[in-house]
Amino acid sequence: MIRNPHPWLALAAALTGSAASPGLAQTELFSPETVKAWVDVRLTATDGERGWLDGGFGKTRYGGNDDGAHLAQAVMVWQPRLADTVTAYVIGQYVPESDEPFGIEEAFVKWKPVPKSALRYSVRAGQFFPPVSLEHDGAGWTTTRTVTPSAINSWIGEEVLVQGLEGNLQTQVAEHGLALTLGGFTKNDTSATILTWRGWALHDISASESTGLPLPDGPQGWSNTLGANQSAHSRPLAEVDGRLGYYVRLDWRPPAPLAVDAEFYDNQGDPQVLRNGQWGWATRFYNLGVTWQPAQDWEVLGQYMTGQSNMGWRMSNGFWAFDVKYDSAYLLATRKFGDGSQLTGRIDYFAVKDLSWRKKDDNTERGHAATVAWIRPLTGHLDLAAEVLHVNSYRPARAIQGLDPRQAQTQVQIALKAHL
């Protein structure tokens, strides 16, 4: 069953209603401009270990036994204009591999008044991903340069969906663009469950309010320690501790083809709370992003993330029972061509450092990945993409299941997206 996000939309409408009422004549609910939809079909070939969606430690969306044709996603995006300065945004998705395939990904209302000075501001309220990813700039929180996002933004998509309120301020100072974004949110208390016990992965599955993400099955350090106290599926939007989280982001755009952003995120989770098989995790991370356009037909993106998460109870050495530090980075370059096609290359680095209980549950990890993707629009309603992704990783926890801790995996995808 899809949980209902509509109370958040009602709250957002109440927050913005007084400012919006003068412009109600501009309401536009259903039109070709307010509704988008697409179906994404894949042909895949993958070697290596069992995929993480099947309970393994695989680092890609499709595991070694998932060759063939797949329906990757079906999506409808509704962007009604509720008033002159108020819009809504709702993404409904169908993802066959999810334990609950139908779900609402993002659902929020945004108020953006007409600027009367150099200071511009906007507010959005509802369910959304914090503004971390540089890659997800397409409709419906999709990537536009590759089929598969980086390790950083794959994790944002799977475990950092929030429900809350966000404000954004922008201004111009001596030809420098500056912006401040502040967000407060509930839920997202389980963030880092999957990152800790499965590790980093590169895939294009994003969470919805009804999503449950599978933990690796079979003998595991976490299952031997926690038993039935930990559900075999983590719920990214579970609320277990009643605390509010927050994030703050700064943006700088100098008078050059360059943009820099820095962000801090803290869900302020209580690591000792357990509810319905879902533990609270105290998760904090820093993110730095850079966008550079060295030429009209070239674009370079880079991100670096570092953070720490902990859960359980305090140990005698001062660490928590489950306590990890993690970091990841990528560098991406895209070349655009006159026919609308584009060629992208990306390299990723990722790592996890386990700070406690490594003899019982070693979640240490390190790895790297290389991606090459080519995307071309065939018609106004049909896009073709081809991508090769290769991942090398080392994770000692694999040995518990008799697997080699070092694994390599290559995934080849041909994607055909038909859209309205």
pLDDT exceeds 90 at position 11? no
Confidence check: pLDDT of 271 > 50: yes
Tell me the pLDDT band of 343, cut-offs 50, 70 and 90. very high
pLDDT digits (tens, 9 = 90+) for 36-53: 999 999 999 999 999 999
pLDDT of residue 10: 53
Both structure tokens of 22: 């003068």
Predicted TM-score (pTM) of this structure: 0.93
For residues 181-186, average pLDDT: 98
Q: Model confidence over 170-182: pLDDT tens digits?
A: 999 999 999 999 9
Phi, psi of 42 (to 5 degrees): -125, 150
pLDDT band at 22, cuts 50/70/90?
A: very low
Span of 127-131, 204-208, 246-250, 400-404 with lowest mean pLDDT: 400-404
The amino acid present at 417, given as its one-letter code, is K
